[in-house]
Every structure is written in C-alpha cells, then in structure tokens.
Amino acid sequence: MGASSHVRFAFAALMASLMTVMGDKSASPTLPATFEVDLLFPRNETYAPSWLMPVVFAIQNPSLAVPLSASIQWSMWEGNSTRSPGHIGGGGFDVDGDVRTATSTPKNPYMLSGAVNTISYPDGVWTLAWYVQYNICGGPTHSENFTTVFTVSKSGKAIDLEAATSSDVCGAAQAQAFNITSPWGCGMLGPSPTTNPCAATIDSAAASSLSALARATGAICTSYSSNLTCLDPSPPPGQPSAANPRVVAASTLLTLLAALGALIHLA
C-alpha cells in the first residue's frame, strides 16, 4: 500500500474519531449488556447521484468495543464486479481504537460515517458489503456477512439521513448484536441477542453535523478507489461548497487540518 493510501486510511479513521460527541459522560453498561452495530445508511433504495454519498454506522454501547477489539470492515462496488472502476475495497472503522483514544466518552449510540463520490456513475446499481471483526481467545474472527444493494439514478430521491432512521423503517436496518457477559476471556460472549436498530436514529442535529463535516473535509475513499474523487474539499458545480460554521466548530476543523498535515508529512 502506497503512502497516499496510508494517508487516506488514517484520514478516514481520524474523521471517524471526530464524530465523537463531546460531553457525554455515560458510564460503561453493567454486564451482561449488548454491543450492537447498525447500518443506518444506505438502504435498499434509489438515490440521486451525490459527490458525498454517506455510509453511516451506529454503535450501541461503544465502550464494549474494547474487550471485543471490534472494528467494522466494508467494501463497495458499482455494477456486477468487485473489480469494477467504482470499487472501494478495504474500507473500515476501528471502533476499539476510536473508543480508546477519544478525549471524552463517546455518545451512545456512537455514529461513524464516511462518504463516497457517485457523481461519476449517475445511473447504476451499487453493493455495500460489511461485517464486524472482533478478537476473542487469541484469534480474529468476524460476524456474519451483510450485503445491501442500492441504486443511483438521476431520477432517484435526495439523500435524507433522518428519513432513513424514521420509526416506520428503522426496524429493517441491517444489524449485528453481541451479548457481552464478562469483560474478558473466552467465555465473554453469551447467546446472540435480538437486535434493536430503532434505538439508533439520526435526528436533525446529527444529520446536520454529519453532512457539515463531510462537506468540510470532502469525500473519503480508500486505496482501490482511483476512479473516484478522494480527499477533495472542492465540490462539483452546484454542490454545497462549505460547512455551516454553526454546526462544525472552527477548532474542530483546525484540529482536523493540522492532523491531516501531520499524516501527509509522516507518509
């Protein structure tokens, strides 16, 4: 993997870390408790092309990611082949690392978001494949594989993160839950619990924050996405050009830019 790829991966992880909502001091849940990962967006629907098509996961009880060493691994491709020009391979969020390094306790549920550019493919079928990777008893393993198929079309509807988690559709979200019965050890997992994706919703404030941060930083892509626009804060004509300063604090953006500069220097 080249230096630019390392920067892209590190930048994506940095963006995920910045999604921690400051000031929530909720304690770790009393065991047994459920650790759950929900795919909030996209859904099996038809969307208009966007230079920032979001991929949004919610983590319920994020502190429990630490004993699991949990991460989310995902890939996305356009068309019928994972080798297509629109292929994005090796996407992921290091949930365990984000929780360990957060400067305050992550909000519950904890939102993780990336974005990809579908402008170059205004009409087509896309596939998002994902799973939860975790580590117990000395070896990595992963949950069942999930696949979501969605369509991009010029006649598709605009992206609406709030509507994607409304009460009438939230129960259909893809989700994986783990029953954590003890903090460590091979016997830490109990029988798989029933998932509850409706406990993770995107309200107007969260939707504005996700959209504003994406607009401020540009599309986030990975090493196989050479045909997409990556790390480009300049949108195409007619697209939003800047974050709303009332949503994203200047200090957050300065921290992000400083960190990105450091990553480029190290690479």
Give the chain's domain count: 1
Q: Which has the closest alpha carbon to 206: 157, 247, 251, 159?
A: 247
Cis peptide before 240 (omega within 30 of 0): no
In sequence order, the 6+-apart residues with CB closer than 8 A to the CB of 40 are 56, 57, 58, 111, 161, 164, 165, 173, 197, 200, 202
Q: Which has the closest alpha carbon to 67: 32, 18, 110, 103?
A: 32
C-alpha torsion sign, points 128, 177, 173, 109 = negative
Q: Which has the closest alpha carbon to 70: 100, 94, 105, 89?
A: 94
Is 33 buried (19+), middle (13-18) or exposed (0-12) by CB count in 10 A?
middle
pLDDT of residue 83: 79
- How far lies 24's CA from each of 32, 103, 107, in Å? 22, 11, 6
Asked if pLDDT for residue 267 goes beyond 50, the answer is no
pLDDT of residue 231: 40
Asked if pLDDT for residue 166 goes beyond 60, the answer is yes
Report pLDDT digits (tens) over 217-262.
554 443 333 333 344 444 444 444 333 322 233 333 333 333 333 3
CA dihedral 236, 242, 248, 250 (to 10 degrees): 130
pLDDT of residue 40: 96
More confident residue, 67 or 252: 67
pLDDT of residue 257: 35
Q: Which of 72-86, 97-111, 147-161, 236-250 has the lowest mean pLDDT?
A: 236-250
Report pLDDT digits (tens) over 200-218.
999 888 888 887 766 665 5
Residue 248 gets which letter from DSSP? Answer: S
pLDDT of residue 213: 65
More confident residue, 195 or 17: 195
Distance CA 81, CA 108 (A): 36
User: What's CA 140's distance to the chain center, in Å?
Assistant: 21
The reported pTM is 0.75
Q: If you search the block for the tokens 């930083």, which residue do you land on?
A: 217
Tokens of 189: 């997992």
Average pLDDT over residues 62-70: 93
pLDDT of residue 226: 38
pLDDT of residue 138: 75
pLDDT of residue 29: 84
Q: Which has the closest alpha carbon to 57: 135, 132, 117?
A: 132
Asked if pLDDT for residue 154 goes beyond 90, the answer is yes
> Which residues are bridge partners to 157 per DSSP?
47
Q: Which of 43-52, 90-99, 153-162, 231-240 has the lowest mean pLDDT?
A: 231-240
Q: If you search the block for the tokens 């494949």, which residue do you land on?
A: 129
Report pLDDT digits (tens) over 115-127.
787 887 889 999 9
Is 25 buried (19+), middle (13-18) or exposed (0-12) by CB count in 10 A?
exposed
Q: If you search the block for the tokens 């799973």, which residue do you land on?
A: 131
Report pLDDT digits (tens) over 11-47.
444 444 444 333 343 457 889 999 999 999 999 999 9
Mean pLDDT of the chain, nearest integer: 74
Residue ranges making up the domain that contains 85 = 3-266
In sequence order, the 6+-apart residues with CB closer than 8 A to the CB of 264 are 7
